[in-house]
Structure 1
Amino acid sequence: MHTEIYEARKNLILEFMKDARYRPMKLKEMCSILGVPRRDREELKLVLDQLISERQIDLDDKGRYKIADPDLLEGTFIGNTRGFGFVHVDGIEDDFYISEENVMTALNGDKVAIKKIFDARSGRRSEAVIVNIIERANDFVVGIFEKSKNYGFVVPDNLKIARDIFIDKNHTMGAVNGHKVVVHITDYGNGRKSPEGEIVEILGHLNDPGVDILSIVRAYHLPEQFPEDVMDQVANIPEEVLPEEYAGRKDIRNWQTVTIDGEEAKDLDDAITIKKTGDGHYILGVHIADVSHYVTEGSPLDKEALKRGTSVYLTDRVIPMLPHKLSNGICSLNAGVDRLALSCIMEIDDKGTILNHEIARTVINVDRRMTYTAVKQILEDKNADTISEYKDFVPMFETMAEAADKLREKRKVRGGIDFDFPESKIILDKKGRAVDVMPYERNTATKIIEDFMLAANETIAEDYFWQEIPFLYRTHETPDADRIHKLTLFLKNFGYYLKLKSGEVHPKEFQKLLGNIEGTPEEAMISRLVLRSMMRAKYTTENSGHFGLAVKYYTHFTSPIRRYPDLQIHRIIKETLSGAWDKKREEHYRHILPDVATATSQCESRADEAEREVDKLKKVEYMSRHVGEYHEGVISGITNWGMYVELPNTCEGMIRLQNMNDYYIFDENKYELVGEMTRNTFRLGQKIKIYIAGADKITRTVDFLLADDVEWT
């Protein structure tokens, strides 16, 4: 739809709705009155959706369109265990405070309409009241069942849901005290009456092996089983590439090709080829599994993949976007078998500049399945046995390292930010209990693959941006000015500065800062604060660049087995390569991509939160086995209620002010705690010795004490 026509239709709808005779109505009724033919109803809905996003119109609780109240804002309710909460409104930096009496029946995550009653003033947030619940986020809640004589109630696992759920004795499914259950809320109650519900699933006793992670799976509505129609479609997909599928593809099966992944990985969706030319250039091939060949648009597989949005990686399981027959079978680039791929073949000069590229539908055959550990042993450790085992591939890995260094240096020059946080590696025993936690460090091999994937993603994004066709981009906005202002004030306490231009910061300034703090006690803490000052990356149809990578064009092309956006753009790429692209297909993608971008961004956020919750849970479980021990850690956060301390194994706990043997005052300008009697000072990044006092799996918290405050016996 052309911009001029689109704007004219928006204005026409607004005029119609602002007429004094207009009354709220549903889409079907509006189409009837306006004489909109059935074939154009989707276009009208697009216009209405845009007006809603611009806050010019609203949907009421009966699904009718009405002119928006200018004094009302829409946002997401964030509950608190003490009954009050906050509402986050997109585009507004600070959340609105909602007192307990103004919460209505909202539960954490609900989409709500609010009316502001007080503006922010010194030390206090803006305050609002909830006037309407627009969309419920909690039809089903996971919690612990507690039984009384004639009824029961469920205490939600999510501490942000402050109210217990009443269960009539006829709807308990026979649950007993301590059972983890899923409850369907049938009545959200009111200010005086608790929510009511009925138990629909008993997960097991809270101490049973595996129930803790299963509870998180249910709480985040992560689908474990695939529907029957999906599995029927999968059953008809061949296990080997068929002869007729080679037609029209570039045959590069004779190119030396490897995959490099973690030891446990089974869904191998990227393979690498590389060679050095006589003039010192590199020909780098990034070959990605052609998942879209098997997951066709609109099929049951496709609909389910879009619904899931991404694979979710929990400590003891993977909840895949696609069934294992695809993700570990025909779509996985396993060694020694022919596979269909979509390839980005790039020529890179000795300065790391990508000179030209080819995008092609290919057929490949991987020579070796490599691990990050083996490649690290070859390139970093110079392990003689590993070098001997892979002697035919060693020159290839050395060439990879050269090319990756050039690409990384090029990215560094333009200002790309590289956060090198150690991720947590959590080891479980056979019963699913955490027996070890350690930092999972990046090495030469992981960085090589990262560099090559970044190059392919950027190349694809730039190519399709200039073709001016509908596409999905991975965008990362410039940080909010208020966040940067707060960060700069904090950094001054440590003698660091960010150079701002017109109130904005260039990514190169962050890169310089991270270089300056490298190796200092405050490195981890400042790095995290810098990361928190950033906006969240998301999928969009508009290309606004990627601040963190300091690139104008970026997309996600390299993981179609586990990310739906990659699968989606593969279809667009293949249609343009095969000549199937026309005006009709362009309009089709222009219509569906905004919803795909929104849905997949939300699914990604859900997966990230679930993964974090499981990691937090298992870290607490691990620390509970070490209560009574002394360790050294680094102060990673300071608040007016205590300080967080991170141990070398990445586990974190809190020393609460009330548990310290002095009265400490929090200096929010310097982010310090100062003892009133001892004059002891605690600062971010400071090393201290702690005592592990307790660990609570229900609240997912670990309590530390200062070692000096513990009475030695």
Structure 2
Amino acid sequence: MSVDDKLISETLEIFRSNPEKKYEPQQINDILRMHGSQAFKRIVKSLAILEGEGKINVNSSGRFKLAPVDQIVEGEFRANEKGFGFVRYDETDPDIFVAKPNVMHAINSDEVKVKITKPANPWANKGPEGEIVEIINHQLTDLVGEFQPYSDIQAEKTGKIGYVQSHEKRFADYRIYISNTGLKPQTGDMVKVEITRYPNSDFPQSMDGIAKKVLGNKNDPGVDILTIVYDNDIHVDFPEEAIEQSQEIPDEVTAEERVGREDITDQVMITIDGDDSKDFDDAVTLWKLDNGNFHLGVSIADVSHYVVEGSPLDHEAYNRGTSTYLTDRVIPMIPFRLSNGICSLNPGVDRLTLTCDMEIDASGHVVNHRIYPSIIQSHARLTYNNVNKILAGDQDLIQENQALVPMLKDMAELHEILYEQRHERGAIDFEEPEAKIIVDENGKAVDIQLRERGTSEKMIESFMLAANETVAEHYKKKHLPFLYRVHEKPDEERVKSFFEVASTFGVTVQGSIKDVTPKMLQGVIAKTQGTPEELVTTTMLLRTMQQARYSPDPLGHFGLAAEFYTHFTSPIRRYPDLVVHRMIHQYDQDTSDSLKEKWAEELPEIGQHSSGRERHSIDAERAVNDLKKTEYMEENVGDIFEGVVGSVTSFGIFVTLENTVEGLVHISNMQDDFYEYDEKQLALIGKRNHKVYKIGQPIKVKLIRADVEQRKIDFEVVLSKEEQKKVYELKKKNAARRHGGNKNKKYRGDKKPFNKH
């Protein structure tokens, strides 16, 4: 056995002894007690050989792990509309790709066992591949779709009254046949169906079900949104026992509830929220101390006092995980009686809160803090719009709020300090345009307006970030189990792709991709600020990032460049915040081993579940926005718009308009040339005219289709008169060629495009 063979064998033995552990090369180096750069290179070479032989796997972070033969893991299947899918089985490892023949009739969100047939190869930017060997559990028990009835003869023959077909692309190929034991919907009704049989080898494209709820006809106002809500498993109605519990809660603070709390009702607390906000879960106060520092007080509604652990309200809040905000409605995490009543920090009434007081120096560092249960009274309900006007010098509003103006100006000053401090450490400031969709009384989209974030919005955000970081660091340093909001370093290959896009804008990045920092990404955003490429850069960077999640491990927040971070400030609308409040109360009274063990055991499940529920809510919100944007654009078919190329693919270009609407120019609609995709340039290039379409490029497009049911928008590029003339001449020439070279054959506008992809 050669020296290197011996090293490879010893290296492999480390992995075999700890099959679940992930190692970095330096850790292997330390275990084998190797010294010097040459020895380290030999370690790296041995790892590369083992990885090449398929004996170990490597993830995107460069950590290695033993690759068991025919490894079988459990995870959640995420279906694609084209039949293939991915299985997510680990928070950090890449998802497993499952080709269409290997899905074993699994449908979206099924809990499955999957055999890894091909390990990941990060060097080639490829994740693992596998095949599903068992469906453990169908997470999807209900589905919403459009009902089509059978004739009397068909119904008698099949024992079914008709079928339901989903409008969701992932389920559109399935028919759910409806038994006659449930409700009897009408043609075109949107129906919630309880699934009684799932796809199998005998019936791979169908399911059986019972009609449980008719949402209304697909053309009725509001039914479109309600369909999306049910499709994404968002709970609409509260269980009766939860409603009963909420009715029993007093609508004002009682004498008993004041015991053990610090009364700070004399402090000038204010809420600042949107014009149409109904629930207020955070109030702030600020004054300058004698030493020149700022005293910032952030008081948060103490929802955990009313939503008692293990109660019906708590169970339902856990199941929902979050409130869901749609264009014309809010689906709350807790009943409106609480969220808009006793839990809301309405002005002029006492409310129970948890307060985080912070002393912040001129550099933006929290030098002292205190977290405690309190009673406050909001002195004013202010809006973002009015505070922005006050800070801009609106004399009427300044006169109306003169007692609060000095504090508001101090708040704006502190915000600037906090912002600079975050910016200095590398926090990425995502100023992504946000659209507000205006709907009429029937829920129909009539306008899309861009929301502008002024100083007041950013100011409140700064104060909430400061409180969240302070609370997280406080409990980390106490070595107590806690729930953190974590945002891990982005995948190396995605970062590489992002930097390649940035380079097409002329932006160069200093530093190593293998050791990417928030500061590096922040620099790219800064260099494109105020340019046509800004929107595209921000969007691309957001797609590059990992998804933030909840975890009992303090892994930090990459986007904020924060070492410790939690969610403490929104317990009315987020279950993790409610849990954080619950832990603060309990740790205030007890830090015994039994309590620590209890939370250490429960937090992983709470974090995973809350992260999942958050994704359901985000999916619903995005789907509704896409629906309403498409509905709005439906009235503008044939109109011409200015846009920016947001992304380029082999099948076309996605164009983003100024109002945030995104649509596709399919390659089949690019009729002036035959376009080929250049992967290195991330561009489509014309074969004859060498015209280039690349990310960030301004473009003029015509809206040719707005399919509300599929939530799809299609554009075509508006060509110059000269380009149109060339297209006409070329098509005329092609038409003549098809007719045997007869140039006298009249051209009648052949619609066949050059691109037949």
Do the structures match in fold with TM over 0.5? Answer: yes
How far, CA to CA, are the matches of 2:687 and 2:436 in structure 1?
Answer: 40
- Aligned match for 1:528, one of 533, 539, 543: 539
Q: Output aligned runs, 1:181-192, within 5 Å.
A: 181-192=191-202
1:78: Cα distance to partner?
3.0
Higher alpha-carbon deviation: 124-133 or 462-471: 124-133
SS for the counterpart of 1:520 is coil
How far, CA to CA, are the matches of 1:504 and 1:673 in structure 2?
Answer: 31
1:336: Cα distance to partner?
0.5
Counterpart for residue 109 of structure 1: 109
Going from structure 1 to structure 2, the CA distance change for 1:349 and 1:489 (only over 3 Å counts) comes to: same
Higher alpha-carbon deviation: 360-369 or 189-198: 189-198
Higher alpha-carbon deviation: 228-237 or 451-460: 228-237
1:124: Cα distance to partner?
8.2
How far, CA to CA, are the matches of 2:82 and 2:492 in structure 1?
Answer: 32
Counterpart for residue 644 of structure 1: 654
Counterpart for residue 355 of structure 1: 367
Counterpart for residue 5 of structure 2: none
Structure 2 residue identity aligned to 1:427: I
Q: Output aligned runs, 1:276-675, within 5 Å.
A: 276-380=288-392, 382-501=393-512, 503-577=514-588, 579-661=589-671, 662-675=673-686
SS for the counterpart of 1:503 is helix
SS for the counterpart of 2:719 is helix
Q: Output aligned runs, 1:222-237, within 5 Å.
A: 222-237=234-249
Going from structure 1 to structure 2, the CA distance change for 1:665 and 1:120 (only over 3 Å counts) comes to: farther
1:148: Cα distance to partner?
3.6
Given that residues 70 and 116 in structure 2 are in contact (C-alpha distance below 8 angstroms), is that contact kept between their aligned partners in structure 1? no
How far, CA to CA, are the matches of 1:232 and 1:603 in structure 2?
Answer: 24
1:690: Cα distance to partner?
1.0
Is 2:707 the counterpart of 1:705? Answer: no
Given that residues 167 and 199 in structure 1 are in contact (C-alpha distance below 8 angstroms), is that contact kept between their aligned partners in structure 2? no
Going from structure 1 to structure 2, the CA distance change for 1:291 and 1:119 (only over 3 Å counts) comes to: closer
Given that residues 287 and 343 in structure 1 are in contact (C-alpha distance below 8 angstroms), is that contact kept between their aligned partners in structure 2? yes
Structure 2 residue identity aligned to 1:220: N
Given that residues 262 and 374 in structure 2 are in contact (C-alpha distance below 8 angstroms), is that contact kept between their aligned partners in structure 1? yes
SS for the counterpart of 1:195 is strand
Given that residues 79 and 162 in structure 1 are in contact (C-alpha distance below 8 angstroms), is that contact kept between their aligned partners in structure 2? no
How far, CA to CA, are the matches of 1:444 and 1:176 in structure 2?
Answer: 52
Counterpart for residue 33 of structure 1: none
Going from structure 1 to structure 2, the CA distance change for 1:704 and 1:586 (only over 3 Å counts) comes to: same
Given that residues 153 and 164 in structure 1 are in contact (C-alpha distance below 8 angstroms), is that contact kept between their aligned partners in structure 2? no
How far, CA to CA, are the matches of 2:70 and 2:324 in structure 1?
Answer: 40
How far, CA to CA, are the matches of 1:91 and 1:556 in structure 2?
Answer: 19
Going from structure 1 to structure 2, the CA distance change for 1:91 and 1:469 (only over 3 Å counts) comes to: closer
SS for the counterpart of 2:346 is coil
Given that residues 179 and 208 in structure 2 are in contact (C-alpha distance below 8 angstroms), is that contact kept between their aligned partners in structure 1? no
1:498-531: CA deviation from partner (whole Å, max 9, x where unpaired): 3344812111111111111111221111221112
1:111: Cα distance to partner?
2.4
How far, CA to CA, are the matches of 1:683 and 1:228 in structure 2?
Answer: 55
How far, CA to CA, are the matches of 1:503 and 1:281 in structure 2?
Answer: 39
SS for the counterpart of 1:357 is strand
Structure 1 residue identity aligned to 2:77: F
Counterpart for residue 30 of structure 1: none
Given that residues 113 and 132 in structure 2 are in contact (C-alpha distance below 8 angstroms), is that contact kept between their aligned partners in structure 1? yes
Q: Output aligned runs, 1:13-52, within 5 Å.
A: none
Given that residues 82 and 162 in structure 1 are in contact (C-alpha distance below 8 angstroms), is that contact kept between their aligned partners in structure 2? no
Given that residues 163 and 195 in structure 1 are in contact (C-alpha distance below 8 angstroms), is that contact kept between their aligned partners in structure 2? no
Given that residues 436 and 622 in structure 1 are in contact (C-alpha distance below 8 angstroms), is that contact kept between their aligned partners in structure 2? yes
Counterpart for residue 133 of structure 1: 135
How far, CA to CA, are the matches of 1:80 and 1:178 in structure 2?
Answer: 26
How far, CA to CA, are the matches of 2:294 and 2:426 in structure 1?
Answer: 23
Given that residues 631 and 691 in structure 1 are in contact (C-alpha distance below 8 angstroms), is that contact kept between their aligned partners in structure 2? yes
1:354: Cα distance to partner?
1.0
Consecutive unaligned residues of structure 1, counting only runs of 5 or more, are 1-10, 15-67
Going from structure 1 to structure 2, the CA distance change for 1:282 and 1:73 (only over 3 Å counts) comes to: same
How far, CA to CA, are the matches of 2:291 and 2:277 in structure 1?
Answer: 37
Is 2:86 the counterpart of 1:74? Answer: no
Going from structure 1 to structure 2, the CA distance change for 1:115 and 1:245 (only over 3 Å counts) comes to: closer
Counterpart for residue 273 of structure 1: 285
1:295-350: CA deviation from partner (whole Å, max 9, x where unpaired): 11111111211111111111111111111111111111000011111101111111
How far, CA to CA, are the matches of 1:669 and 1:697 in structure 2?
Answer: 35
How far, CA to CA, are the matches of 1:77 and 1:302 in structure 2?
Answer: 29
How far, CA to CA, are the matches of 2:216 and 2:265 in structure 1?
Answer: 50
Given that residues 632 and 687 in structure 1 are in contact (C-alpha distance below 8 angstroms), is that contact kept between their aligned partners in structure 2? yes
Q: Give the alignment's Cα RMSD to 1 decimal.
A: 2.4
How far, CA to CA, are the matches of 1:616 and 1:638 in structure 2?
Answer: 20
Going from structure 1 to structure 2, the CA distance change for 1:140 and 1:548 (only over 3 Å counts) comes to: same
Given that residues 632 and 689 in structure 1 are in contact (C-alpha distance below 8 angstroms), is that contact kept between their aligned partners in structure 2? yes
Structure 1 residue identity aligned to 2:517: H
Is 2:694 the counterpart of 1:683? Answer: yes
1:427: Cα distance to partner?
0.5
For normalisation by structure 2, the TM-score amounts to: 0.82
Structure 1 residue identity aligned to 2:334: L
How far, CA to CA, are the matches of 2:601 and 2:92 in structure 1?
Answer: 28
Counterpart for residue 57 of structure 2: none
How far, CA to CA, are the matches of 1:306 and 1:91 in structure 2?
Answer: 21
SS for the counterpart of 1:477 is coil
SS for the counterpart of 1:708 is coil
- Aligned match for 2:164, one of 154, 174, 188: 154
Going from structure 1 to structure 2, the CA distance change for 1:244 and 1:130 (only over 3 Å counts) comes to: closer
Given that residues 327 and 561 in structure 1 are in contact (C-alpha distance below 8 angstroms), is that contact kept between their aligned partners in structure 2? yes
SS for the counterpart of 2:627 is helix
Structure 2 residue identity aligned to 1:618: K
Counterpart for residue 51 of structure 1: none
SS for the counterpart of 1:678 is coil
How far, CA to CA, are the matches of 1:644 and 1:494 in structure 2?
Answer: 17
Counterpart for residue 144 of structure 2: 142
Going from structure 1 to structure 2, the CA distance change for 1:291 and 1:88 (only over 3 Å counts) comes to: closer
1:351: Cα distance to partner?
1.3
Consecutive unaligned residues of structure 2, counting only runs of 5 or more, are 1-16, 21-67, 156-161, 726-748, 750-757
Identity %: 43
1:444: Cα distance to partner?
0.6
For normalisation by structure 1, the TM-score amounts to: 0.87
1:655: Cα distance to partner?
0.6
SS for the counterpart of 2:630 is helix
How far, CA to CA, are the matches of 2:127 and 2:291 in structure 1?
Answer: 62
How far, CA to CA, are the matches of 1:120 and 1:357 in structure 2?
Answer: 46
Decide which structure has the larger Cα Rg and report it: 2
Counterpart for residue 755 of structure 2: none
Given that residues 691 and 706 in structure 1 are in contact (C-alpha distance below 8 angstroms), is that contact kept between their aligned partners in structure 2? yes
1:119: Cα distance to partner?
6.5
Higher alpha-carbon deviation: 74-83 or 354-363: 74-83
Task: Figure out how many residues of one structure are paired with residues of the other and give that number.
Answer: 647
Going from structure 1 to structure 2, the CA distance change for 1:81 and 1:290 (only over 3 Å counts) comes to: closer
Structure 2 residue identity aligned to 1:456: A
1:630: Cα distance to partner?
1.0
1:168: Cα distance to partner?
4.7
1:386: Cα distance to partner?
1.4
1:70: Cα distance to partner?
4.5
Counterpart for residue 11 of structure 2: none
Going from structure 1 to structure 2, the CA distance change for 1:450 and 1:111 (only over 3 Å counts) comes to: same
Structure 2 residue identity aligned to 1:297: E
SS for the counterpart of 1:213 is helix
Going from structure 1 to structure 2, the CA distance change for 1:311 and 1:166 (only over 3 Å counts) comes to: closer
Given that residues 70 and 117 in structure 2 are in contact (C-alpha distance below 8 angstroms), is that contact kept between their aligned partners in structure 1? no
Higher alpha-carbon deviation: 273-282 or 262-271: 273-282
Given that residues 645 and 654 in structure 1 are in contact (C-alpha distance below 8 angstroms), is that contact kept between their aligned partners in structure 2? yes
